[in-house]
């Protein structure tokens, strides 16, 4: 049963020409459009037309290894979303940025700036940057280890939060007659002296419209889930089955109490790549057409990276050979991919097809009603608070989702028909944080 107080949330995960790895080769796609701002503005406006909560860009700090065979990010997300902010009104704007390779003062300021530019629509997808190639672009021979990265991330968030809170909301008074611009008693240094960072503050931009930008996370390791339970307000996750998604949902929601938080303080948004047809056959044909454009050489390179194992020479029409988790990668994605191959007894070729649509995220091919059914089922059965929608091609598949699937969800009363809030937090039904800790240790000392 749908709880009428619960609202479905939809984020559009935007990636170049689309999430299917062969999207850019599809005849409906003009591949170099993805190198232009106009392409992303068009997508953002489509998402806004569909009353989606937000758009989101992934990121990392190194060129992907297989750029020969596939497109790559054309823009840096915070600058791109700043540009999009100027030409949209409602849609939330979520940028990925690393706590491992940024400075908290600079990044907290950039997100505060984006939040002001967009009048309260900024979100930050917090990543700790697992890749070795990224470390080598920023003066390190190797990335810090997993525990170090999460320890740094936790401290980074403490600093960023304190910086956003270093201004009271009403610190700017702008009293022309008295000549008083700001109430300096409402602006405090933070004097952070930690393991990873020493930051005096205050921030050189006033408090964000949302208090803090929306905090998003996607880690699925133990450390990642604990970090999310402590910090995140929305979590993107890759889940292939309802049962796995329900288990993840229960697990994550169950951790919140340990941090004094409630289950509704964090939204779980599994990925879904919807391949939409007017008929089920049309949807299957479309999926097959995209899969026919797969380059197995690229697929094997991607699979090798995902499993941290060289699989570039394995036979395509045999089962996935035995593999052991490597040290480089993402354990939860490893388990998901190997689990999928074994559960469905897939050949390597079929596995590559299953991964081509969403790199491990769930691909659902069907009619608008069938896709809405899947969304409703996961939403009502304790697997999702909403979805991270990954259109197989862009802009076409997002147009289809907005024009064909969103109206079904609206008719069912699951999804908004108009924006009723102004900020990303309001879209997601999340509270605006108050300035939490007015440096009580200092006040006690005074």
Residues 72-111 that bind its own copies (CB under 8 A): 72-76, 78-80, 82-87, 101-103, 105-106, 109-110
Q: Is the Cβ of residue 3 or residue 176 nearer to its own copies in the bound state?
A: 176
Q: Is 3 in the site for its own copies (CB under 8 A)?
A: no
Q: Is 419 in the site for its own copies (CB under 8 A)?
A: no
Among the residues of 275-433, which ranges form H helices?
A: 280-292, 296-307, 331-343, 348-356, 368-380, 396-400, 406-411, 424-428
Determine which helix (DSSP H) or strand (DSSP E) holds 387, and give its type and residue range.
strand 386-389
Instruction: Let me know: does 369 contact 338? Beta carbons within 8 Å.
Output: no
Q: Is 360 in the site for its own copies (CB under 8 A)?
A: no
Q: How far is the CB of 384 from its own copies (least distance, A)?
A: 31
Q: How far is the CB of 75 from its own copies (least distance, A)?
A: 5
The contacts of residue 68 (CB under 8 Å, 6+ apart) are: none
Residues between 254 and 283 that touch its own copies (CB under 8 A): none
Q: How far is the CB of 388 from its own copies (least distance, A)?
A: 22
Whole-Å CA distances, 167 to 54, 115, 172, 364, 444: 27, 15, 9, 46, 20
Q: How far is the CB of 70 from its own copies (least distance, A)?
A: 5
Q: Choose one: 129-137, 279-287, 348-356, 427-435; the region binding its own copies (CB under 8 A).
A: 129-137
Q: Is the Cβ of residue 194 or residue 407 nearer to its own copies in the bound state?
A: 194
b/e map 362-385, b = 16+ CB within 10 Å: bbbbbbbebbbebbbebbeeebbb
Residues between 55 and 74 that touch its own copies (CB under 8 A): 60-64, 67-74
CA atoms within 13 A on the CB side of 260: 0
Q: How far is the CB of 73 from its own copies (least distance, A)?
A: 6
Q: Is the Cβ of residue 63 or residue 316 nearer to its own copies in the bound state?
A: 63
Q: Which of 182, 247, 314, 422 binds its own copies (CB under 8 A)?
A: 182
Q: How far is the CB of 101 from its own copies (least distance, A)?
A: 7
Q: Is 242 in the site for its own copies (CB under 8 A)?
A: no
DSSP SS3 for 271 = strand
The contacts of residue 397 (CB under 8 Å, 6+ apart) are: 18, 274, 275, 276, 391
The contacts of residue 132 (CB under 8 Å, 6+ apart) are: 142, 143, 328
DSSP SS3 for 198 = strand
- SS in 3 state form for 52-65? CCEEEECCCCCCCC
Q: Is 288 in the site for its own copies (CB under 8 A)?
A: no
Q: How far is the CB of 441 from its own copies (least distance, A)?
A: 19
Q: Is 424 in the site for its own copies (CB under 8 A)?
A: no
Number of residues that bind its own copies (CB under 8 A): 76
Q: Is the Cβ of residue 201 or residue 391 nearer to its own copies in the bound state?
A: 201
**Cβ neighbourhood burial of 418 (10 Å; 0-12, 13-18, 19+):** exposed
What are the tokens at 343? 């559960």
Q: Is the Cβ of residue 166 or residue 239 nearer to its own copies in the bound state?
A: 166
The contacts of residue 259 (CB under 8 Å, 6+ apart) are: 229, 230
Residues between 31 and 50 that touch its own copies (CB under 8 A): 31-32, 35, 37, 41
Residues between 366 and 405 that touch its own copies (CB under 8 A): none
Q: Which of 2, 89, 184, 243 binds its own copies (CB under 8 A)?
A: 184
Q: Which of 6, 42, 49, 113 binds its own copies (CB under 8 A)?
A: 113
Residues between 289 and 348 that touch its own copies (CB under 8 A): 293, 295, 298
DSSP SS3 for 199 = strand
Q: Which of 13, 24, 124, 164 binds its own copies (CB under 8 A)?
A: 24
Q: Which of 199, 252, 275, 363 binds its own copies (CB under 8 A)?
A: 199
Q: How far is the CB of 249 from its own copies (least distance, A)?
A: 33
Site string for its own copies, 136-165 (x = CB under 8 A): xxxxxx------------------------
φ/ψ region of 413 (left if φ > 0, alpha if ψ in -120 to 50, else beta) reads left
Q: How far is the CB of 113 from its own copies (least distance, A)?
A: 4
Q: Choose one: 149-157, 197-205, 324-332, 352-360; the region binding its own copies (CB under 8 A).
A: 197-205
DSSP SS3 for 323 = coil
Query: CB 72: neighbour CB atoms within 10 A?
Result: 12
Q: Is the Cβ of residue 24 or residue 56 nearer to its own copies in the bound state?
A: 24
Instruction: Let me know: does 363 contact 357? Beta carbons within 8 Å.
Output: yes
Percentage helix, strand, coil for the chain under 3-state DSSP, each rounded to 5: 40, 15, 45
Q: Is the Cβ of residue 132 or residue 221 nearer to its own copies in the bound state?
A: 132
Q: How far is the CB of 276 from its own copies (least distance, A)?
A: 22
Q: Is 200 in the site for its own copies (CB under 8 A)?
A: yes
């Amino acid at each position: 049963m749908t709880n009428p107080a619960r609202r479905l949330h939809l984020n559009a995960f935007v990636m170049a020409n689309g999430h299917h790895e062969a999207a850019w080769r599809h005849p409906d796609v003009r591949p170099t459009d993805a190198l232009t701002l106009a392409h992303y503005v068009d997508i953002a406006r489509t998402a806004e037309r569909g009353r989606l909560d937000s758009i989101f860009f992934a990121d990392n700090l190194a060129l992907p290894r297989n750029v020969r065979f596939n497109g790559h990010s054309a823009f840096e997300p915070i600058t791109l979303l700043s540009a999009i902010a100027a030409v949209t009104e409602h849609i939330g704007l979520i940028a990925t940025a690393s706590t491992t390779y940024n400075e908290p003062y600079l990044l907290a300021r950039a997100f505060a700036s984006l939040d002001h530019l967009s009048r309260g629509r900024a979100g930050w997808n917090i990543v700790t940057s697992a890749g070795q190639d990224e470390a080598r672009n920023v003066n390190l021979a190797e990335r810090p280890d997993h525990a170090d990265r999460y320890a740094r991330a936790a401290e980074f968030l403490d600093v960023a939060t304190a910086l956003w809170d270093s201004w009271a909301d009403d610190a700017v008074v702008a009293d022309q007659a008295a000549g008083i611009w700001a109430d300096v008693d409402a602006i405090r240094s933070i004097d952070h002296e930690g393991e990873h960072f020493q930051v005096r503050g205050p921030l050189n931009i006033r408090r964000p419209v949302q208090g803090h930008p929306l905090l998003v996370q996607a880690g699925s390791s133990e450390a990642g889930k604990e970090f999310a339970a402590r910090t995140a307000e929305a979590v993107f996750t890759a889940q292939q089955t309802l049962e796995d998604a329900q288990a993840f949902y229960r697990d994550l929601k169950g951790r919140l109490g340990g941090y004094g938080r409630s289950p509704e303080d964090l939204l779980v948004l599994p990925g879904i790549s919807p391949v939409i047809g007017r008929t089920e056959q049309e949807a299957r044909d479309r999926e097959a057409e995209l899969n026919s454009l797969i380059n197995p050489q690229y697929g094997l390179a991607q699979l090798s990276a995902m499993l941290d194992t060289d699989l570039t020479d394995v036979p395509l029409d045999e089962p996935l050979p035995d593999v052991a988790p490597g040290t480089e990668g993402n354990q939860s994605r490893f388990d998901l991919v190997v689990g999928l191959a074994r559960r469905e007894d897939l050949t390597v070729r079929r596995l590559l097809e299953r991964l081509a649509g969403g790199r491990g995220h769930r691909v659902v091919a069907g009619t608008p009603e069938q896709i809405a059914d899947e969304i409703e089922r996961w939403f009502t059965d304790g697997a999702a608070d909403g979805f991270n929608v990954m259109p197989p091609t862009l802009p076409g598949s997002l147009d289809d989702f907005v024009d064909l699937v969103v109206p079904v969800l609206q008719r069912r009363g699951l999804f908004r028909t108009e924006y009723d809030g102004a900020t990303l937090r309001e879209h997601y039904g999340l509270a605006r944080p108050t300035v939490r800790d007015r440096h009580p240790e200092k006040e006690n000392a005074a």
